[in-house]
Amino acid sequence: MARILFSSFQTERLILRRLKDSDLRQYHAYLNDPQVARYQTWETYSEEQARAVIEEQQALEPGLQGRAFLFALELKETGALVGHVVFTVQEKDYHQAEIGFTLAREFHRQGLAREAASRVLDYAFTERKLHRVIAITDCENLSSVALLGKLGMRREGHFIQNIWFKGKWGDEYLYAILRDEWLERIHRRDAEFAQRSAETA
Q: List the chain domain ranges.
A: 8-200
In whole numbers, what is the pLDDT of the chain averaged over residues? 93
Q: What is the pLDDT of residues 10-22, one digit of tens each?
A: 999 999 999 999 9
Q: In three state form, how does the secondary structure of 18-87 look? A: CCCHHHHHHHHHHHCCHHHHCCCCCCCCCHHHHHHHHHHHCCCCCCCCCCCEEEEEEECCCCCEEEEEEE
pLDDT tens figures, 153-162: 999 999 999 9
Lowest-pLDDT range, 71-80, 94-103, 162-171?
A: 162-171
For the chain, report the end-to-end CA distance as a whole number of angstroms.
52
What percent of the chain is modeled with pLDDT above 90?
A: 83
**CATH superfamily ID and name for 8-200:** Gcn5-related N-acetyltransferase (GNAT) (3.40.630.30)
Tell me the pLDDT band of 193, cut-offs 50, 70 and 90. Answer: low
Q: Please tell me the pTM assigned to this model.
A: 0.90
Contact 156, 112 (CB under 8 A): no
Q: Is the per-residue pLDDT at 201 higher than 90? A: no
Q: According to the model, what pLDDT value does residue 2 have? A: 44
